[in-house]
């Protein structure tokens, strides 16, 4: 930003010819400019010059009162003559900003007064321009810069809104089962405070999505979200990845590296698979969390931290503490608000909702016609156990869309590549009666031995289940 533009400086602005500027900003929308200038001739000059841009709508005022009477129209930008009758530019600027704090204001003055210019710019005036033969060209350039900044701010705000909408719980995580609604309730509580969060669940249940949704709906949403998969980084590199290092801290450290804790400052750090950490690194993370500061590897400077921690694991950390493979003090430091994610097999009709969503998404991304799930396909999807959870279901639906006839997906196109024989109840050759007992036993476990609910789900008589239980044909 220029304080005072001397005559020799204005040669720079002669490069900004009206035609060039018009070409650069022609794509922008209509832009309203109010000119407050008590000199009719000079006001008309500025009006004519700015009106060369067809995107500009220019309105002139010769005094502060008439201008303030129309300020409710909320122009995109205001230019003010500093020496107006009955007031000055600073007083009028203060009035404008008291009503519209972000409205851009340019002061145009007949005096080259550095002290006045500095005071105005400190107060928040966007630019201070001295009246001379180059004023109109300098004004063109100043307005262009202000418009570009406004456009960038609008774009950032739009992206923030889109990001917030993207991470709305119900849009991010599909489902309306009681199990997933309980998760939504816990996620909502997690957004209301800066408590640490621990997310548990089987592989493929969407732990990172939940962490992102919490962050982008919290008061830290405008700050960084950094994710680290602890199981994916070799142990010897993990300390540097988390805490950073200084140049020459070890062989190969050719420069300073900022660690994930530091990158996440003021925001959220998501540590996935935290149960894979060795005890030595656990103690270092504990110290950082306790002291709220870190020292880079090979450094001495203490760096203050304000980081919200969200961790995730498929392990039972309480059991790991009992076995001695996870520090108890770190466990209590990170456990915070626990959010257990249900496996897909416990989410009832969410399976079909997700299957249809993935099928539609794949068809849309690949410019294919929408496809329907037949009754046989839906039945097959509901009977499967999903050891890979949501991630596995998505892979199944992507393949089904390719294998189908282009109109509908049948059971034949639902390819199940089970990684465990038990998932298909096909681990060994059994009789039909044994398979029936196996399936009923599986669903009794799934629904907490509720015979009536299992009978309804499998469409069999409850007496059949009671009889098989009595004869010990089913083990639960």
Domain holding 448: CATH number?
A: 1.10.10
Cα separation, 341 vs 438, whole angstroms = 26
Mean pLDDT value across the chain: 85
Nearest C-alpha neighbor of 78 from the set 127, 114, 42, 40: 127
Output the pLDDT for position 283. 94
- Tens of pLDDT, residue by residue over 324-342, are 999 999 999 999 999 999 9
Same domain, 140 and 181: no
Model confidence over 93-125: pLDDT tens digits? 999 988 998 899 999 988 777 888 888 888 889
Q: What does the pLDDT average to over 345-368?
A: 92
Predicted pLDDT of residue 421: 45
Q: Are residues 335 and 205 in the same domain?
A: yes
Model confidence pLDDT, tens digit, residues 53-65? 888 999 999 999 9
pLDDT at 152: 81
Q: Which residue has the higher pLDDT, 173 or 321?
A: 321
Domain assignment of residue 136, yes or no: yes
Q: Are residues 66 and 17 in the same domain?
A: yes
Give the integer Cα–Cα distance in Å for 344 and 355: 11
For range 267-274, the mean pLDDT? 96
Structural domains in the chain (count): 4
Give domain status of residue 179, yes or no.
yes
On whether both 329 and 456 belong to a single domain, the answer is no
pTM: 0.59
Q: pLDDT of 416-475, one tens digit each?
A: 875 554 454 444 556 777 778 888 887 888 788 888 888 888 888 888 888 888 888 887
Same domain, 368 and 463: no
Check: CB of residue 318 under 8 Å from CB of residue 331: yes
Residues 186, 304, single domain; the answer is: yes
Of 307, 326, 312, the C-alpha closest to 226 is 307
3-state secondary structure of 80: strand
Q: Do 140 and 204 fall into the same domain?
A: no
Residue 271 placed within a domain = yes
- Cβ neighbors of 307 (< 8 A, separation 6 or more) are 261, 264, 265, 266, 267, 268, 269
DSSP states of 317-386:
HHHHHHHTSS-HHHHHHH-BEEEEPPPGGGSTTHHHHHHHHHHHHHHHHTT----EE-HHHHHHHHH---
Instruction: Taking residues 75-99, report their average pLDDT.
Output: 89
| Residue 97 belongs to some domain of the structure | yes
Please check whether residues 32 and 177 belong to one and the same domain: no
What is the CATH number for 316? 3.40.50.300
Range of the domain at 43: 10-160
Domain assignment present for residue 5? The answer is no
Tell whether 39 and 143 lie within a shared domain: yes
Per-residue pLDDT at 27 exceeds 50: no
Tell me, yes or no, whether 183 and 318 share the same domain. yes
Report the distance separating Cα 129 and Cα 112, nearest Å.
9
User: Are the CB atoms for 107 and 120 separated by under 8 Å?
Assistant: yes
Tokens of 17: 């010819």
The pLDDT of residue 195 is 94
Separation of alpha carbons 328 and 14, rounded Å? 70
pLDDT of residue 341: 95
Other CB atoms within 10 A of residue 384 CB? 18
Supply angle C-alpha 180, 185, 187, rounded to 5.
90
């Amino acid at each position: 930003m220029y304080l005072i533009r001397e005559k020799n400086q204005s040669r720079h602005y002669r490069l900004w010819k009206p035609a060039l500027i018009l070409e650069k900003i022609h794509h922008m929308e209509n832009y309203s400019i109010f000119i407050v200038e008590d000199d009719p001739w000079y006001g008309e000059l500025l009006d004519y010059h700015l009106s060369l841009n067809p995107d500009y709508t220019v309105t002139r005022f010769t005094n502060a009162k008439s201008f303030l009477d129309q300020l409710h129209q909320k122009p995109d930008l205001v230019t003010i003559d500093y020496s107006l009758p009955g007031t000055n530019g600073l007083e009028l600027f203060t009035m404008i900003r008291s009503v519209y704090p972000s409205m851009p204001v340019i002061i145009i003055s007949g005096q080259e007064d550095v002290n006045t210019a500095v005071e105005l710019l400190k107060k928040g005036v966007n630019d201070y321009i001295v009246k001379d033969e180059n004023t109109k060209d300098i004004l063109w350039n100043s307005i262009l810069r202000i418009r570009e900044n406004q456009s960038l701010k609008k774009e950032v705000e739009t992206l923030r809104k889109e990001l917030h909408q993207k991470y709305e719980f119900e849009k991010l995580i599909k489902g309306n089962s009681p199990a997933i609604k309980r998760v939504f309730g816990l996620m909502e509580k997690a957004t209301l405070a800066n408590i640490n969060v621990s997310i548990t669940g089987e592989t493929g249940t969407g732990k990172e999505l939940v962490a992102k949704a919490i962050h982008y709906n919290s008061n830290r949403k405008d700050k960084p979200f950094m994710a680290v998969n602890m199981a994916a980084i070799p142990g010897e590199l993990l300390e540097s990845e988390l805490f950073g290092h200084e140049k020459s801290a070890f062989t190969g450290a050719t420069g300073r590296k900022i660690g994930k804790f530091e990158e996440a400052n003021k925001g959220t750090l998501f540590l996935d698979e935290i149960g894979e950490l060795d005890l030595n690194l656990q103690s270092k993370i504990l110290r950082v969390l306790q002291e709220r500061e870190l020292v880079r590897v090979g450094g001495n400077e203490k760096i203050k931290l304000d980081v919200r921690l969200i961790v995730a694991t498929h392990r039972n950390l309480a059991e790991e503490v009992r076995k001695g493979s996870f520090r108890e003090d770190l466990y209590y430091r990170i456990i915070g608000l626990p959010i257990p994610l249900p496996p897909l097999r416990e989410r009832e009709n969410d399976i079909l909702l997700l299957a249809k969503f993935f099928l539609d998404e794949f068809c849309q991304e690949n410019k294919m016609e929408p496809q329907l799930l037949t009754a046989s396909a839906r039945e097959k999807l509901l009977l499967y156990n999903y050891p890979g959870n949501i991630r596995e279901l998505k892979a199944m639906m992507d393949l089904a869309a390719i294998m189908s006839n282009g109109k509908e997906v049948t059971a034949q196109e639902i390819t199940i590549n089970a990684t465990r024989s038990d998932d298909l109840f096909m681990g060994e050759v059994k009789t039909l009666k044994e398979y029936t007992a196996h399936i009923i036993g599986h669903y009794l476990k799934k629904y907490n031995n509720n015979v009536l609910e299992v009978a309804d789900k499998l469409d069999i008589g409850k007496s059949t289940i009671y009889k098989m239980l009595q004869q010990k044909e089913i083990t639960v």
